[in-house]
């Protein structure tokens, strides 16, 4: 496998020669008792009975390999490199059928704690420019296997979507000396037309130019550039767990399948990072979660060349999600 860069769009593409399939397993490799089917345990939370509740292991079919060097090379105008990186799986709980939104608050907080721990650890590796956390919920989102899990990747490049965010947030800051996302939060909270849920620490809303019906962003009200440095106390992890669960359960009333992506600050320890270029990064970048639902009924929603078509007004989507009566699940 290699990573190729499209010189026009600046997109990095993981290029494989034929798709590798899942190893032929008789049992779910993420269920308790099957630990030997996964390479090794990178992180775990074990309860007082000695059983694990969260477990992180290398991916069975990794997109990236951790060993070796990057071997950047050119081919005329083209750039390519080895698929150096890390690809891990966060097994969110031992129960094969219990999805994240239905776990107990404490268990969701343990999953968040695992994210914090792994991101922090991977960012110590100076070869990696970015650490992504994402979650594919449901078959339409590409979830495989069914056992509830999230994925973490560490890459020698910054994903294009994040590069665009970094650029526009930096540009806005250089003009106004304010964080654009803080300004968006303030405006949305004042208008209350696209907000879904909020408390004194977090808020969720449908973005003004939502890419798909019921797109939702979840973010901290107080400015913070890094998820892994913001959610360090158990209290805050538990608070965010409770908040996130409620938002996910709202979303699940309109879409069973969705993607969750965490956008946190790039790796500031990375080898070639020009720190000068990112002088204002801590002030201009604001971490957030993006929730992208996939609905069968939204077949008219498509994107072509990155222009999206969305048939549900974000104001209407937010109103629907806000009005839902979600009973707290502890
Ligand atoms: Zn399982
Ligand atoms: Zn901010
Ligand atoms: Zn983002």
If we measure between CA atoms, which residue out of 141, 105, 154 comes closest to residue 264?
A: 154
If we measure between CA atoms, which residue out of 208, 171, 229 comes closest to residue 308?
A: 208
Which tops the pLDDT comparison, 89 or 27? 89
- Measured CA to CA, the distance from residue 238 to residue 231 in angstroms comes to 9
Average model confidence (pLDDT) across the chain: 90
**Structure tokens, 216:** 């939702």
50-72 pLDDT, tens digit each: 999 999 999 988 888 888 777 88
- Measured CA to CA, the distance from residue 58 to residue 90 in angstroms comes to 9
Q: What distance, in Å, lies between the first and last C-alpha atoms of the chain?
A: 44
Split at pLDDT 50, 70, 90, the class of 275 is low
Q: CB of 189 within 8 A of CB of 180?
A: no
Separation of CA 47 and ligand 3 centre (Å): 34
Separation of CA 186 and ligand 1 centre (Å): 42
Separation of CA 61 and ligand 3 centre (Å): 26
Separation of CA 253 and ligand 2 centre (Å): 30
Residues whose Cβ atom is located within 5 A of ion ligand 3 = 263
Ligand of minimum distance to the alpha carbon of 159: 3
Contacts of range 187-192, beta carbons closer than 8 Å, 24 or more positions apart = 189/221
Of all residues in the chain, the percent with pLDDT exceeding 90 is 68
298-311 pLDDT, tens digit each: 555 455 445 566 77
Which positions ≥6 away from 52 have C-beta within 8 Å? 32, 44, 45, 46, 94
Separation of CA 202 and ligand 2 centre (Å): 12
Separation of CA 165 and ligand 2 centre (Å): 13
Instruction: Report DSSP state, residue 222.
Output: S
What's the CATH code, domain 177-323?
Answer: 3.30.428.10
Is pLDDT above 80 for 21?
no
Domains 2-14+27-155 and 177-323 share a fold: yes
Split at pLDDT 50, 70, 90, the class of 295 is confident
Ligand of minimum distance to the alpha carbon of 285: 2
Separation of CA 239 and ligand 2 centre (Å): 19
114-125 pLDDT, tens digit each: 999 999 999 999
Burial class, 280, CB count within 10 angstroms (exposed 0-12 / middle 13-18 / buried 19+): middle
Domain ranges of the chain: 2-14+27-155, 177-323
Average pLDDT, integer, range 191-207: 97
Which tops the pLDDT comparison, 13 or 275? 13
* CATH for 2-14+27-155 (3.30.428.10, 3.40.50.2300, 3.40.50.740, 3.90.1150.10): 3.30.428.10
Give me the pLDDT at residue 8, please.
85
Q: CB of 172 within 8 A of CB of 184?
A: no
If we measure between CA atoms, which residue out of 145, 111, 103, 136 comes closest to residue 293?
A: 136
Separation of CA 78 and ligand 2 centre (Å): 36
Give me the pLDDT at residue 192, please.
96
250-259 pLDDT, tens digit each: 999 999 999 9
Separation of CA 288 and ligand 2 centre (Å): 10
Separation of CA 29 and ligand 1 centre (Å): 6
């Amino acid at each position: 496998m290699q990573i190729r860069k499209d010189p026009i769009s600046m997109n990095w593409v993981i290029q494989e020669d034929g798709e590798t399939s899942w190893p032929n397993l008789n049992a779910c490799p993420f269920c308790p008792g099957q630990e030997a089917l996964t390479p090794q345990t990178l992180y775990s939370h074990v309860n007082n009975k000695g059983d694990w509740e969260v477990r992180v292991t290398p991916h069975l079919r990794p997109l990236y390999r951790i060993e070796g060097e990057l071997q950047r090379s050119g081919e005329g105008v083209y750039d390519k490199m080895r698929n150096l990186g890390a690809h891990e799986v966060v097994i969110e709980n031992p129960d094969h059928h219990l999805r994240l939104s239905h776990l107990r608050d404490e268990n969701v907080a343990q999953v968040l704690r695992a994210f914090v721990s792994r991101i922090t650890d991977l960012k110590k590796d100076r070869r990696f420019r970015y650490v992504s956390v994402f979650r594919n919920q449901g078959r339409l989102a590409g979830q495989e296997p069914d056992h509830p899990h999230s994925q973490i990747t560490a890459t020698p490049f910054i994903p294009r979507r994040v590069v665009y965010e970094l650029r526009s947030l930096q540009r806005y800051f250089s003009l106004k000396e304010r964080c654009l996302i803080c300004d968006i939060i303030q405006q949305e909270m004042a208008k209350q037309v696209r907000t879904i849920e909020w408390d004194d620490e977090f808020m969720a809303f449908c973005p003004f130019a939502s890419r798909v019906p019921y797109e939702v962003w979840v973010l901290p009200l107080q400015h913070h550039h890094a998820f892994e440095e913001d959610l360090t106390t158990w209290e805050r992890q538990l608070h965010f767990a409770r908040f996130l669960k409620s938002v996910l359960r709202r979303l699940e009333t309109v879409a069973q399948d969705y993607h969750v992506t965490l956008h946190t600050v790039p790796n500031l320890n990375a080898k070639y990072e020009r720190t000068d270029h990112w002088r204002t990064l801590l002030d201009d970048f604001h971490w957030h979660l993006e929730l992208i639902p996939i609905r069968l009924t939204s077949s008219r929603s498509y994107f072509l060349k990155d222009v999206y078509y969305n048939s549900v007004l974000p104001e209407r989507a937010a109103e629907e999600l806000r009005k839902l009566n979600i009973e707290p699940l502890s």
